[in-house]
Amino acid sequence: MADLEDELIRSVGVASVEQVIEGQGELGSLRTLQKQPAHRGEPAAAQLRRFMGTRSGRKSRYARLLAEAVDPARVPRPLERLLACV
């Protein structure tokens, strides 16, 4: 796991993350990033992580949205442990 973002993307799934992005009206921006030569060969999860880091405030906004999108049956173990402590 690279970070919380990575864990959320893995838990929610690439297709569902893209649906969240589409719901925010930013799917076109994601597709533009994916077409750039530097990102064409990257795995989809890496592209999504990069996308979330390209604009100020986007990481925190998507962290909340993706946390809300996680199926309770698929909560990542590290996050489950953290939540048990708070």
The three state secondary structure string of the chain is CCCHHHHHHHHHCHHHHHHHHHHCCCHHHHHHHHHCCCCCCCCHHHHHHHHHCCCCCHHHHHHHHHHHHCCHHHCCHHHHHHHHHC
- Asked if the model's pLDDT at residue 1 lies above 60, the reply is no
Which of the two residues, 4 and 70, has the higher pLDDT score?
70
CB atoms within 10 A of CB 15: 8
How far apart are alpha carbons 5 and 66 in whole angstroms?
Answer: 9
pLDDT in tens, 19-75: 999 999 999 999 999 999 999 999 999 999 999 999 999 999 999 999 889 888 877
Confidence bin at 2 (pLDDT 50/70/90): low
Confidence bin at 17 (pLDDT 50/70/90): very high
- Report pTM: 0.84
